[in-house]
Amino acid sequence: MDQLLQHLLNGLVLGGTYALLGIGLTLIFGLMDVVNFAHGEFYSLGAYATFAGLSLADLNFFAALGVAIVCGIALGALTERVLLRPLRGHSIDTVMLVMIGVWISMQNGELLLWGGVAKSIAHPFPTSPLTLGGLSLAPLRLFVLAAAIGLVVGAHLLVHRTRLGRAMRATFQDADTAALMGVRIHRIYTATFAIGSGLAAAAGALLGSVFIAYPSMGDLASLKAFSVVILGGLGNIGGATVGGLVLGIAEELGAGYVSSGYRDAVGFVIIMAVLLVRPSGLFARAERVG
């Protein structure tokens, strides 16, 4: 029983990290329809920016996290302005291809800049785990879970309770009408992409300190993010969160009780099963599919 509980706890923490990856992408992919293959690279950027802040600028951990998020937002805005705005109106595949190019460039740029050796990100939390009976949880992970929840709630509030959020929802529902109503759609697009990238950077900063930072860390992150977003319903922050948790717990239980070699396969099978039953993902609004 203890083992099961520990697996569930592990899965919860893992799922929280997946959710964090998903909420940024659900804005970019779900709302803007940009197949952002470079999302994982903003994740890596967050981790490396944190590392740089800590080791080069001697900032404290939380300040470095903040810097990382700001970098993500800034670079995201720049990318949108320079590469995506001119291509708006072109086919979704063209945009996807540009983002593939960005992905390759960013990752190899990071490799050139930082080298292939993984970087450890120092954090101020004690390393001995918190224990409750037979269960163990590291304080850092608890912090990451809490931060993830905070970011998810923050993102949800942003989209549903602020003027900016309202403008975003209006733009993505009907850009022309929104423009007529005075919404500066160009700015909204830039802001959305920037926020999504900032969230990815936040995920990278947090998870980079739990794990380690290395140039190809974004690849797996991208893949999980896409799975979580589509599973949870495009554009749905709550859905992405639940999707992340479901995926995390499923993988953990799969690895624990089926086989560690087939761990990711369990996730994939669950995804396929979910889509068979609910073709628009777990929580998408009922829309015509096909």
Partner 1 sequence: MRRTAGILLALVALTVPFWIANPYFLHVVIMAGIFGILALSLNLLLGYTGQLSLGHAAFFGIGAYTSALLTLRLEWSFWPALPAAVVAAGIAGWAIGRLALKLRGAYFVLVTISFAGVVALVSINWMELTNGPLGLPGVPAPELGSWSLRTKTAYYYLVLAGAALSYEVCRRLIHSRIGRAFVALRENEPLAESVGVDGTRYLVLAAVVSAGMAGLAGSLYAHYTRFVSPEVFLFTYTVTMVIMVVAGGKGTLAGPLVGAVLFTVLPEALRAATSWQWQMLAYGVILVVLVFFLPRGIVPTLFR
Partner 2 sequence: MLKRWLRITVTVGVVAGLVSSLAGLDVARAQAPVRIGVIEPLSGPVAASGNYIRMGAEIARDWLNAKGGVLGRKIDLVIEDNKSDPKEAASAAEKLIVRDKVPAIMGAWGSSMTLAAMPKLEEYGVPMVVETSSAASITKRGNPWIFRISPPSEMEAVGLEQYVPKLTIKKADFLAVNTDWGRGSIQAFGDLLKKNGLQVGAAEFMEQSATDMNAQITKIKSTGGDTLFLTTAVEQITLVLKQAQEQRLNRKIITTGGSSSPTQLIKQAGAAAEGTYHIVFFMPWFPESMPDGKLAKAFVEEWAKRGHPFEGLTEGFRGHDGIMTIAEAVKVAGKDEPTAVRDALWRVNITGVNGPIHFEKDGPAGKESGQSKPSIFIVQIRDGKVALPEFARK
> Residue type for 286, please?
A
Closest listed residue to residue 215, CA positions, set 101, 60, 105, 124 = 105
Q: Which of 2, 58, 91, 133 binds partner 1 (CB under 8 A)?
A: 91
25: contact with partner 1 by CB under 8 A:
no
Q: What phi and psi values does residue 190 have, to the nearest 5 degrees? A: -60, -45
x/- mask, partner 1, residues 109-128, rule CB under 8 A, reads x-xx----------------
* Closer residue to partner 2 (CB): 68 or 207: 207
The answer to whether residues 143 and 151 touch, using CB atoms and an 8 Å cutoff, is no
Q: Which of 149, 185, 212, 275 binds partner 2 (CB under 8 A)?
A: 212
Gyration radius of the chain's alpha carbons? 19
Find the shortest distance in angstroms from Cβ 150 to partner 2: 21
108: contact with partner 2 by CB under 8 A:
yes
Establish how many alpha carbons lie within 13 A of residue 290's alpha carbon, considering only the half-sphere containing its beta carbon: 3
70: contact with partner 1 by CB under 8 A:
no
3: contact with partner 2 by CB under 8 A:
yes
Residues 212 and 207: their CA atoms lie apart, in Å, by: 8
> Residue type for 206, please?
L
Segment holding 171, helix H or strand E: helix 163-173
Outline where DSSP puts E strands in the chain.
Answer: 130-132, 135-137
Q: Which of 86, 101, 109, 116 binds partner 2 (CB under 8 A)?
A: 116
Token duo for residue 76: 């995201």
127: contact with partner 2 by CB under 8 A:
yes
x/- mask, partner 1, residues 216-255, rule CB under 8 A, reads ---x---x--xx--xx--x---------------------
| Cβ-proximal residues to 164 (8 Å cutoff; 6+ apart), any chain | 158, 188, 191
| Cβ-proximal residues to 144 (8 Å cutoff; 6+ apart), any chain | 13, 16, 17, 206, 207, 209, 210
138 binds, among partner 2, partner 1, none (CB under 5 to 8 A by kind): partner 2
33: contact with partner 2 by CB under 8 A:
no
* Closer residue to partner 2 (CB): 16 or 281: 16
Q: With CB under 8 A as the contact rule, which of the stretches 40-48, 133-141, 149-157, 227-235 interacts with partner 2?
A: 133-141
- Give, as ranges, the residues between 118 and 177 that touch partner 1 (CB under 8 A): none
Q: Give, to the nearest 10 degrees, the angle between helix 2-25 and helix 237-253.
A: 140
Closest listed residue to residue 213, CA positions, set 227, 225, 201 = 201
102: contact with partner 1 by CB under 8 A:
yes
Query: Residues interacting with partner 2, by CB under 8 A?
Result: 3, 6-7, 10, 14, 108, 111, 115-118, 120, 127-129, 131, 136-138, 141, 207, 211-212, 214-217, 219-220, 251-256, 260-261, 263-264
Query: Residues interacting with partner 1, by CB under 8 A?
Result: 29, 37, 83, 86-87, 90-91, 93-94, 96-98, 100-109, 111-112, 219, 223, 226-227, 230-231, 234, 259, 261-262, 264-265, 267-269, 271-272, 275-276, 279-281, 288-290
